[in-house]
A = this chain, B = another copy of it.
């Protein structure tokens, strides 16, 4: 039976992708679109590339949402918690694309965000929506915290190796580059074309809030929680994250062990492929796929793993739909694109 869907934060980049995917999903029907400053607009004014231009955007208000099977929240940090709880109270399943429910303890949350959580009892209750590593938690759940874009790439790269005990010591280095859509759609001087084009810079060095999420995720799959050094960079493209990860190999580990562990981890995962050459983000842009490419450096006994995803799909809207499929008991791949855009 077709699932009735609401999307809050519909006017942003992730919101637009949720609309595009849900519109094309065989088992979903969008019945409500919410926005903040764009409430009152039509969809066509906000996303001229989408169909159904005449659809109206209402407010991001759970009171407007009735008779809905699931709500996707694509809201800024801190804005998800209240509507999420209100919707759950109404019996609506929630996939939160924000960071409000990703961290699993009050300590971790307050260390990352420097403020108390409005519903501390919820921390640790929300399955972490990275199906390839936590599929069992997601299946059938009524609420899911969809991972951040960078942690998705880093955990797909390092999670199975850490979990299998093939890495040892640390810290692990996650050096990532991202297209600008990850920074959102609001007008900011540093995201203007004239500021982004033809230049690259790191940002959030040592302070980016996706780092604790990576450490928590590694701890959840494996043997102890390693420390991560994470440096994100902005590059002049719209979509795509490439994370190049460095970690020490455990004693005796061979290159073949690394590749075998990745193949074993992802053999049943339709969206993740282990590849033999460095992937270009362009090969996955437009899809919900991830490509993983791993090396063992014999000179330094270190493992290098490169992961490529589309930050708006596998790193946000696509993964949210993937989670929703599992929450509803649908086919995991339903409605999710497998072929990319190139050129």
Contact = CB atoms under 8 A, between A and B. Distances in A.
A244 B201 contact: no
Interface stretch (A86-94, A117-125, A141-149, A182-190): A182-190
Contacts of A76: none
Contacts of A195: 193, 343
Contacts of A285: 49, 198-199
A279 interface: yes
A196 interface: yes
A7 interface: no
Contacts of A342: 16, 47-49, 194, 199
A102 interface: no
A200 B295 contact: no
A171 interface: yes
Interface residues of A, number: 77
A212 to B, nearest CB: 11
B177 A177 contact: yes
Interface string A13-48: 100100010011000000000000000000000011
A170 B302 CA distance: 11
B235 A236 contact: yes
A229 interface: yes
Interface of A: 13, 16, 20, 23-24, 47-51, 170-171, 173, 175, 177, 179-181, 185-189, 191-203, 205-206, 227, 229, 231, 233, 235-240, 242, 244, 246, 278-287, 293, 295, 297, 299-300, 302, 304, 306, 308, 312, 338-343
Given A171-B297, A229-B302, 17 more contacts: A49-B340, A50-B339, A51-B339, A171-B300, A173-B173, A177-B235, A180-B192, A187-B188, A187-B189, A187-B192, A191-B193, A192-B192, A198-B285, A199-B280, A231-B304, A231-B306, A286-B341
24 contacts: A49-B282, A49-B287, A49-B340, A171-B299, A171-B300, A175-B246, A179-B198, A180-B193, A188-B192, A191-B194, A192-B193, A193-B238, A194-B238, A194-B343, A197-B238, A199-B237, A199-B285, A200-B281, A202-B278, A205-B278, A205-B293, A233-B242, A236-B237, A286-B286
